[in-house]
């Protein structure tokens, strides 16, 4: 499992609020090109976010489904990108001193061809992708700092 951590200068609820706004996913999830629809119940367990991933004209349509939702501390998704496969993506948010949040992002391929082509190069790319994802999440969460 690829795991990346980052301390974000915003409280857990503020960071979770970004996770809970499915319409922002294409702004901060690297590789998500467009959010097509978000279930009204997002991010409750079983709700889905419908997205396109990858560069146009080769982008693929799929959906991500909430497996665990424990606001403002944990969100686990099954992210689809068929025919490449599915990944389990887990966000864990822990408060740290000064009103900040330690965000831990873990991702592992759960099914499909990508599960069988694990190697150090793929792990490095996934690590770099997820680090950039957390950087983008931090930008959005801290931009909202101080807003009601």
Say if CB 65 and CB 84 are below 8 A apart: no
Quick one: pLDDT at residue 119? 58
Fold of the domain built from segment(s) 2-145:
Alpha-D-Glucose-1,6-Bisphosphate; Chain A, domain 4 (3.30.530)
Higher pLDDT, 75 or 61: 75
**Distance, CA of 60 to CA of 43 (rounded, Å):** 22
Segments making up each domain of the chain, as ranges: 2-145
Quick one: pLDDT at residue 18? 97
Could you tell me which of 64, 65, 63 has the C-alpha nearest to residue 46?
A: 65
Quick one: pLDDT at residue 93? 98
Most distant pair of Cα atoms in the chain: their distance: 46
Estimate to the nearest angstrom the gap between the alpha carbon of 107 and the chain centroid.
9
Higher pLDDT, 108 or 120: 108
pLDDT above 70 (res 114): no
pLDDT above 80 (res 1): no
Higher pLDDT, 108 or 29: 29
pLDDT tens, position by position, 43-74? 999 999 999 887 777 788 889 999 999 999 99
pLDDT above 60 (res 148): no
The whole-model pTM stands at 0.88
Pairing of strands 48-53, 60-70: antiparallel
């Amino acid at each position: 499992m690829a795991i990346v951590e980052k301390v974000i200068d915003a409280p857990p609820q503020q960071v979770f609020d970004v996770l809970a706004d499915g319409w922002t996913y294409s702004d901060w999830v690297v590789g998500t090109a467009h959010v097509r629809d978000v279930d009204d119940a997002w991010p409750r367990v079983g709700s889905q976010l419908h997205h396109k991933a990858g560069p146009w004209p080769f982008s693929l349509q799929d959906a991500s489904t909430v497996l665990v939702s424990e606001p403002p501390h944990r969100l686990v998704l099954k992210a689809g990108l068929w025919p490449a496969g599915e990944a389990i993506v887990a966000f864990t948010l822990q408060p740290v001193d000064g009103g900040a949040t330690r965000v831990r992002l873990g991702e592992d391929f759960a099914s499909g061809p990508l599960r069988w082509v694990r190697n150090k190069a793929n792990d490095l790319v996934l690590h770099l992708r997820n680090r950039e994802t957390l950087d983008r999440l931090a930008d959005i969460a801290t931009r909202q700092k101080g807003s009601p």
